[in-house]
Amino acid sequence: MKLVRYGPKGQEKPGLVGDDGTIRDLSGEVRDIAGEVLSEAGLKHLASLDIASLPVVDGTPRLGSPVAGLQKIVAIGLNYSDHAAETGAEPPEEPIVFMKALNALSGPNDDVEMPRNSSALDWEVELAIIIGTKAKYVSKENALAHVAGYAVMNDVSERDFQTKRSGQWTKGKSHDTFGPLGPWLVTKDEIGDVHDLAMELDVNGQARQRGNTNTLIFDVPTVVSYLSQFMTLMPGDVITTGTPPGVGMGMKPPQYLKVGDTMRLSIAGLGEQTQTVVSA
């Protein structure tokens, strides 16, 4: 299934995308795409519905983040071998973990704000994991049982804030709009091999990132299991898993986003996003 949340910001309703691309309203079945809805039983209930009987959503409404009620966004850094190489970094021995503030979360096609005093705004297409059930001290073998599905995320970053302002990476990752997620939450049963998905990102129509999840250093079960040793993962929590090569910071010389620039990014089977950069 492809689950969405649609409507004005702060007023999103739950929906389901049919095979024909039509959004069907789920408001009569669930309050939101959150909590128990993301469990195995909750997803099984949604999968059992007669899609044709659900109300059609007219037009092309704004899409919000496809999941609500999350407690945290956890991010993994330098998790692609080819991206680590372009930055000149050694592949990490353990996952590099940092956080993105919840206020960074936004819809897949919402504008991205350039913060005040920003000079190094960068893009990162990433595979996001959406947690379905509470995960604490889970094994790698059982990790996927706690995953509801996957989505595209743009881990927007301000590199000077991230690397030159001392402290940890979070301050360069957490501005409003720095976490476009969606367009959909795709349940894991729809993805044949999550470790073989093509990824791409263009800026103003020019190719920037081209990669594949098959170069992940730490795969999805490893990441979920690893994080669950340090923090309890809750339904709706988002784990964004790292980016392939082609970021602005890695270009020679580095190239960064400007107000008016447009990013288009996609992952095979998970859909496409488009954002325009605006002033904060």
H-run or E-run covering 147: strand 147-154
196 and 115 co-located in one domain = yes
CATH number, domain with residue 254 = 3.90.850.10
Q: Which residue has the tokens 């350039």?
A: 114
170 and 121 co-located in one domain = yes
How far apart are alpha carbons 29 and 25 in whole angstroms?
Answer: 9
Given this model, what pLDDT does residue 83 score? 75
Give domain status of residue 233, yes or no.
yes
136 and 88 co-located in one domain = yes
pLDDT 10s digits, 179-219: 999 999 999 999 999 999 999 999 999 999 999 999 999 99
pLDDT 10s digits, 66-109: 999 999 999 999 899 877 777 777 889 999 999 999 999 999 99
Asked whether the predicted pLDDT for residue 6 surpasses 90, the reply is: yes
- Lowest pLDDT segment from 75-89, 103-117, 122-136: 75-89
95 and 199 co-located in one domain = yes
Given this model, what pLDDT does residue 212 score? 96
Domain count, the chain: 2
129 and 172 co-located in one domain = yes
Q: Residue 86 class from Cβ within 10 Å (0-12 exposed, 13-18 middle, 19+ buried)?
A: middle
Strands 2-6 and 13-17: antiparallel
217 and 258 co-located in one domain = yes
Helix%, strand%, coil% for the chain, nearest 5: 20, 30, 50
Give domain status of residue 66, yes or no.
no
How far apart are alpha carbons 111 and 138 in whole angstroms?
Answer: 37
39 and 83 co-located in one domain = no
Give domain status of residue 67, yes or no.
no
Given this model, what pLDDT does residue 91 score? 84
135 and 193 co-located in one domain = yes
Give domain status of residue 58, yes or no.
no
Asked whether the predicted pLDDT for residue 123 surpasses 80, the reply is: yes
152 and 39 co-located in one domain = no
Give domain status of residue 90, yes or no.
yes
Give domain status of residue 65, yes or no.
no
How far apart are alpha carbons 146 and 143 in whole angstroms?
Answer: 6
126 and 21 co-located in one domain = no
Asked whether the predicted pLDDT for residue 56 surpasses 80, the reply is: yes
Mean pLDDT of the 234-247 span: 97
Mean pLDDT of the 172-177 span: 97
Give domain status of residue 223, yes or no.
yes
* Residues of the domain holding 36: 2-53
Q: Which residue has the tokens 């893009």?
A: 123
Give domain status of residue 63, yes or no.
no
* DSSP summary character for residue 166: S
Residues 180, 111: contact at Cβ < 8 Å?
no
Asked whether the predicted pLDDT for residue 2 surpasses 80, the reply is: yes
84 and 24 co-located in one domain = no
Distance of CA 179 to the CA centre of its chain: 7
Query: Average pLDDT, whole number, for the chain?
Result: 96
Instruction: Say what the pTM is.
Output: 0.96
Q: Please, where are the H alpha helices in 216-259? A: 220-228
144 and 237 co-located in one domain = yes
Percent with pLDDT over 70 in the chain: 100
Given this model, what pLDDT does residue 52 score? 93
